[in-house]
Structure 1
Amino acid sequence: MARDHLNIPGGARNALEHALNARDAGIMDMVKRAIQHRQVMLAFQPVVQAQAMDRVAFHEGLIRVLDDTGRVIPAGEFITTVEETEYGRLLDCIALEKGLHELSRVPTLRLSINMSARSIGYKKWMRTLTRGLSQDPTVAERLILEITEHSAMLVPELVVNFMNELRSKGIAFAIDDFGAGYTALRHFKEFDFDILKIDGEFAKGIARDPDNQVLVGAMVSIAEQFDMFTVAEFVESKEDADCLVTLGVNCLQGYYFAAPTVSPPWRDDENKRFA
């Protein structure tokens, strides 16, 4: 929010600033406590194949924290506040650590994990990755790292070098929230992402939105030109799913197929085996 440009009288502006600062401080405290008490987890959501919607292409591991009441808090409620702080980097480390552990436990799993470009070069994050790959080298080819378009554009040259180094180990990369803000088009050749994840705002209600249909069609064409496959996020209805398939999107993700869950189906299978 561009707070300095709000057309609000001085007293009201000060009150708003105070409320926003108090909210941000509360979020920071919640995340800090969750990290300290190891109350950070991943929620898993399937990404399905558009041409065979009963088949899962991979899962995304979405960061979650517990608040003081034990409620699971989704990333949308805290990540913007913490992503530019040390806590944001620590959350990236925890997400990676938990994702690598899950990949090692489940040999058939392919998993994407979110990270910020701000974590590139962060020693603790790199140590976490190195340790995970040394313990089980097979996880590299099943790991996808998702970097948001906005984050990638902050340090494009650093992202390119980082991707080239890790791609040699078998790790794949997705550009997340594509179309949400900054344009990375002029860097596409250098970035060489494997997956383009179309921002969910373009997918919601797309069956009844001709403008978004044109935009998504253009994104699909861009992805095809650069040998990337596409994922549409936030798919919430059959008509939107069918429309996205018609537009040529390769994979779909959203509540229409499954909500993120901290108890994924492969853990249920394990519990049944050992019951």
Structure 2
Amino acid sequence: MSDQTIIASTDDDLIAAAAAERDRTVLDMVREALELDRVMLAYQPVVGSVTGQVAFHEGLIRLRDATGRIIPAGQFIEAVETNELGREIDCAALRLGLAALAGKPDLRLSINMSARSIGYARWTQTLTHGLAHAPSVGERLILEITERSAMQIPELVKAFMADLQDQGITFALDDFGAGQTSFRHLKEFYFDILKIDGNFVRNCDTDPDNQCIVNALITVGQQFDMFIVAEAVETAAEAQFLVAAGADCLQGYYYGAPQVNPAWLKGRSTGMQEAG
């Protein structure tokens, strides 16, 4: 074995060890936050492209660490996605979302979940209890499932959606374009809303490749009679392109950052807006 091979192997081991330690730290933080109920939703508006009015809000799960810092999902969701902590995160998000819907009758809210949480007993119990406590929330609840997650167990997802349709629940296919959706499955799914992945939305006003992809994704959604939302809209130019392309709704920092205490929910004159 050459010296270069030994060095490369040592470097790989160090990187793997560092990654493992980072994941352990993240898991410990998530576990503690769940145990101490340091969980909350941050609400981001989804705005009609023609009306400019809020069509619904997305409730994004947030944790608070021991220092009081609010931790966005992007910093922990990948580490917990495949284990039970990921299922508990989905339960917490659903519980908070259902409580918000029950407390505000004019609220329409989307909540994220992994397809892996389908059949998870506590998640199912949380939904059943929430609908029994306030039956009208089902008609105002949107469940968002990522494309990548849905395509891992498509048959289970289709059965799950069919079972819940009678409750009036709406389903959104999140991050469309980022995964590997089979058009056969897309035709058979019960998704009402298609959310275009933000990687294709960014710079869509100037990037010819993104323009082509966005136009194609919108055409697919329209063909299947799906309501189309463009994510991660950050500039007026992007919004203008998306409106012209046929997006029904727009979501992103251009229209509002996620807020953990929005004035409309708490009846306060100001909301707490996340930084960055």
TM-score, length-scaled by structure 2: 0.93
Partner of 2:80 in structure 1?
Answer: 82
Q: Secondary structure at the match of 2:267?
A: helix
Residue in structure 2 matching 1:199, options 183, 192, 197: 197
Kept after mapping to 2: 8 A contact 1:192/1:226: no
Shift in Å, 1:73? 0.5
Deviation at 1:30, TM superposition (A): 0.5
Letter of the 2:230 partner, please give it.
A
Change (3 A) 1:235 1:271: closer
- Aligned-partner Cα distance in 1 for 2:265–2:72: 21
Tell me, in whole angstroms, the C-alpha distance in 1 between the residues paired with 2:266 and 2:186: 40
- SS of the equivalent of 1:208 reads coil
Matches of residues 133-212 of structure 1 in structure 2 within 5 Å? 133-212=131-210
Correspondence 1:27 to 2:26: yes
**Alignment partner of 1:223: what SS?**
helix
Partners of 1:113 and 1:145 within 8 A in 2 = yes
1:51 partner SS? coil
Q: What displacement does 1:168 show?
A: 1.1
Residue of structure 1 aligned with 2:110, choices 106, 109, 112: 112
Question: Secondary structure at the residue paired with 2:194?
Answer: strand
In 2, the alpha carbon distance for the partners of 1:270 and 1:206 equals 36
CA contact (8 A) 2:263 2:269 kept: no
The residue matched to 2:98 in structure 1 has which SS? helix
The residue matched to 2:167 in structure 1 has which SS?
A: coil
CA RMSD of aligned residues (A): 1.3
Q: Which residue of 1 aligns with 2:3?
A: none
Please give the alpha-carbon distance, in whole angstroms, between the structure 1 residues aligned to 2:68 and 2:195. 31
Number of equivalenced pairs: 264
Amino acid at match of 2:138: A
Q: Any stretches of 5+ residues in structure 2 without a counterpart?
A: 1-6, 271-276
Point out 4+ residue stretches in structure 1 off by more than 3 angstroms: none
SS of equivalent residue, structure 2 residue 258: coil
The 1:75/1:208 distance shift into structure 2, 3 A limit, reads same
Alpha-carbon distance, 1:267 to partner = 2.7
Deviation, 1:260, is: 0.3
Contact 2:172 2:191 in 1 (8 A): yes
> How many angstroms does 1:192 deviate by?
2.2
For 2:192 and 2:122, locate their aligned partners in 1 and report how far apart those are by CA, in whole Å: 25
Paired residue type of 2:37: R
* In 2, Cα distance between equivalents of 1:46 and 1:73: 19
Q: In the alignment, residue 139 of structure 2 is paired with which amino acid?
A: E
Following TM superposition, by how much is the alpha carbon of 1:68 offset from its aligned partner in structure 2, in angstroms? 1.8
Q: Distance in 2 between matches of 1:183 and 1:147?
A: 12
Q: 2 CA distance for matches of 1:147 and 1:241?
A: 24
Q: Quick one: distance in 2 between partners of 1:87 and 1:103?
A: 24
* Local SS of the residue matching 1:24: helix
Say if 1:141 and 1:171, in contact at 8 Å, map to a contact too: yes
Shift of 1:29: 0.5
State the secondary structure of the residue aligned to 1:207: coil
1:270 offset after TM fit, Å? 6.2
Contact 2:104 2:265 in 1 (8 A): no
Please state how far the C-alpha of 1:188 moved relative to its aligned partner.
1.1
CA distance in 2, matches of 1:96, 1:270: 24
> What is the rounded CA distance, in whole Å, between the counterparts of 1:158 and 1:216 in structure 2?
28
| TM-score, normalised with respect to structure 1 | 0.94
| Cα distance between partner residues in 2 of 1:239 and 1:73 | 30
Matched residue type, 1:17: A
Conserved in 2, the CA contact under 8 Å of 1:149 and 1:184? no
Find the partner of 1:214 among 203, 212, 215. Answer: 212
**Offset of residue 189 of structure 1:** 1.6
Corresponding letter in the other structure for 1:79:
I
Tell me by how many angstroms 1:169 deviates.
0.8
Any idea what the Cα deviations from partners look like across 1:201-228, whole Å, max 9, x if unmatched?
Answer: 0111110111111111111111111110
**Matches of 1:224 and 1:189, distance apart in 2:** 12
SS at match of 2:60: strand
- In the alignment, residue 15 of structure 2 is paired with which amino acid? L
| Whole-angstrom CA distance in 2 between matches of 1:166 and 1:124 | 16
